[in-house]
Amino acid sequence: MSRRQSGKPLWTAVDQYLGDLFAAHDEHLEAALKANRKAGLPAIDVSPLQGKFLQFLIHVTQAKRVLEIGLLGGYSTMWMARALPRGGRIVSLEFSQRHADVASANLKRAGLLKKVDIRVGPALENLPLLAKERGGKFDLIFIDADKDNNPHYLEWAIKLARRGSIIVVDNVARHGQIIEAKNPAGDIQGTRRCLKLMASDPRLSAFAMQTVGLKGLDGFAAAVVIR
Ligand code: SAH
Ligand code: DHB
Ligand code: MG
């Protein structure tokens, strides 16, 4: 069996095949990705199947309150917002006003903006404010921003969760660099520390899974709060 098809790794074609089957784009998802690229946003949106997986988690848990750390152009947000029950809401934290503007336009076009509450600024400034608001605990928290701060985001996620809430952390393999204990890069160190906390915190039952696909070798970690 050939490993490559027309110069692409075989897993790219497999991800394409599975994505076309299970996570086909409609006009709004397509328009969002197009707008993100046109605006020069980095092409680091979740893949279609990863978006569908987040949607799956929301259906399984019947999540009504979702927290996303890292909005970008709102592509992952769109997948999740579509799975929310009536009255469900996503709070999404984003550092960049420009990214938030692109995301707002994408969500508005898709009729989803009313389900999303975008907070612009450094997430570590908005997380304590969210905790003070007493809007209720979050059922699902998706951590997908600057990886250097992943240990802090995990701590806040646990604070903002209840027993049974799910925490998902994106990008935990980083093309394999995650195994480089001495790699000084902040994103690698931040994610390694976060994974260690997730694996050892008695309040969590957690796992991590590496993935290959449209975005190369990467992975995600997930935890359920058990106490
Ligand atoms: N979840 C998105 C991708 C997020 S990319 C999707 O799959 O579609 C990461 C985002 O985190 C970027 O938009 C970046 O601007 C944002 N970010 C980086 N540092 C941040 C910080 N300190 N606080 C909040 N957002 C931050
Ligand atoms: C990067 C960030 C992401 O959230 C992602 O899914 C892929 C790559 C990055 O910063 O390189
Ligand atoms: Mg990501």
- Enumerate the β-bridge partners of residue 84: none
95 Cβ inside 6 Å of ligand 1: yes
Report residues whose beta carbon is within 6 angstroms of any ligand 2 atom: 44, 144, 170-171
DSSP-assigned letter for residue 46: P
Residue 12: count other Cβ atoms within 10 Å of its Cβ.
18
At residue 78, the pLDDT reads 98
| Superfamily per CATH, domain 4-225 | Vaccinia Virus protein VP39 (3.40.50.150)
The single-letter code of the amino acid at 152 is H
Residue 1: predicted pLDDT: 45
Q: Are 92 and 74 in contact (CB under 8 A)?
A: yes
Please list the rounded mean pLDDT of every run of 10 residues in the chain (227 residues): 71 97 98 98 98 98 98 98 97 98 98 98 98 94 98 98 98 97 98 98 98 96 97
Q: Going along the chain, which residue ranges are E strands?
A: 4-5, 8-9, 65-69, 89-94, 116-120, 138-143, 161-170, 204-213, 216-225
Q: How many alpha carbons fall within 13 Å on the CB side of residue 199?
A: 10
Q: Could you tell me if 42 and 33 are in contact, meaning their C-beta atoms sit under 8 angstroms apart? A: no
Taking CA atoms only, the protein residue closest to ligand 1 atom 10 is 70
CB-neighbour burial class of residue 109 (10 A; exposed 0-12, middle 13-18, buried 19+)? middle
- From 142, 144, 150, 168, give the residue whose CB has the most ligand 1 atoms within 8 Å, as the site to mutate: 144
